[in-house]
Amino acid sequence: MTDDAWQGMLFGATSAEGETIEDGPVDELRVCALNVNSPNPSRAQRIVNWLLATKSNTLVLTEMQPSEGGRHMLAALQAEGFTTTCPPGWKDVRYFTAVATRGVEAVPVQPAGFDPRIAAVDLTSDATAVRLVGLYGPTNGMTPESSHRRREFQRRFLDYLAEINNSTLCVAGDLNVVEPNHRPHLPAFEDHDYAFYTGLLALGLRDAYRELNPAGGDHSWLNPRFGNQRLDHSLVSAGAGNIRACAYDHTTRSDDLSDHAALLTTIGLCADRAAMNGQGAG
């Protein structure tokens, strides 16, 4: 397959159930954010099959690698009619984030992110205009070096978001941070991790899960040694649309597809979103 093919094109494909892909206006974004845990080709295909069953039209895939498994996943999604967008430099790094869409057009945001862990796209259709930023934040290695690396990445990412921010911004993926009042308390997270989370909210973003589950105690990564953690997030600005649903799906963990739960978020869109997208666009 050529390099251009790896980047993805919108094919006239059918879904796993043989249904024709919708050609009409999209009135909601069904976003599935999943840390795919660096799959081999066999697990990559199983993950693709699972993703298709969710009926999501927007996928944010984190902990992708430019390996045989990662490339297989991109190709398999393309064969199912998804357009895949990978950030600049994705072939030359250990980890990257990919965005895949079906039924909505995805145009890379300029300027692009400073690291392939960031995939920023404008999603557009007749009824859709959303600026989506997929993120795979640096892992908490619980060392001073890890803390410094995370802090600098978080600072640069907030600066980048401020640069490209508009009224329809959404951020989704494995941010590798937890909210300040997370339960259980996790002493390995530091002040800058909590400041990163609150800094995202300060940009006008709403934590979709917390918005619908004020007292919810779900976690997306479960570990008896390091504590259960809600690391995967979907953050949505008011201008992007109404948060209709947001929930963690743990079948990705129980079926050994990933060590993370998937986060499924539905955003209801309005017909005039396209006009709103011009406000503050970079």
SS3 sequence of the chain: CCHHHHHCCCCCCECCCCCECCCCCCCEEEEEEEECCCCCHHHHHHHHHHHHHCCCCEEEEEEECCCHHHHHHHHHHHHCCCEEECCCCHHHCCCEEEEEECCCEEEECCCCCCCCCEEEEEEEECCEEEEEEEEECCCCCCCHHHHHHHHHHHHHHHHHHHHHCCCCEEEEEECCCCCCCCCCCCCCCCHHHHHHHHHHHHCCEEEHHHHHCCCCCCCCECCCCCCCECCEEEEEEHHHCEEEEEEEECHHHHCCCCCCCEEEEEEECCCCHHHHCCCCCC
- pTM (two decimals): 0.88
Non-local CB neighbours of 214 within 8 Å, separated by 6+ positions: none
Q: Which pLDDT belongs to residue 127?
A: 66
Q: Which pLDDT belongs to residue 271?
A: 53
Q: Which pLDDT belongs to residue 247?
A: 97
Q: Token pair of 244, please?
A: 């209709």
- Please say whether the beta carbons of 106 and 122 come within 8 A: yes
**CA nearest 95: which of 143, 127, 139?**
139
For the stretch 64-76, pLDDT in tens is 999 999 999 999 9
Ordered structural domains, the chain, with CATH? 3-18+27-276 (3.60.10.10)
**Phi–psi pair at 244, nearest 5 degrees:** -90, -35
Q: Which residue has the tokens 């129980």?
A: 254
- Please say whether the beta carbons of 69 and 182 come within 8 A: no
Q: Which residue has the tokens 């963690």?
A: 248
- Please say whether the beta carbons of 200 and 161 come within 8 A: yes
Give me the residues of the chain with pLDDT under 70, please: 1-25, 127-128, 270-282
Q: Which pLDDT belongs to residue 46?
A: 98
Q: How far apart are CA 101 and CA 220, in angstroms?
A: 23
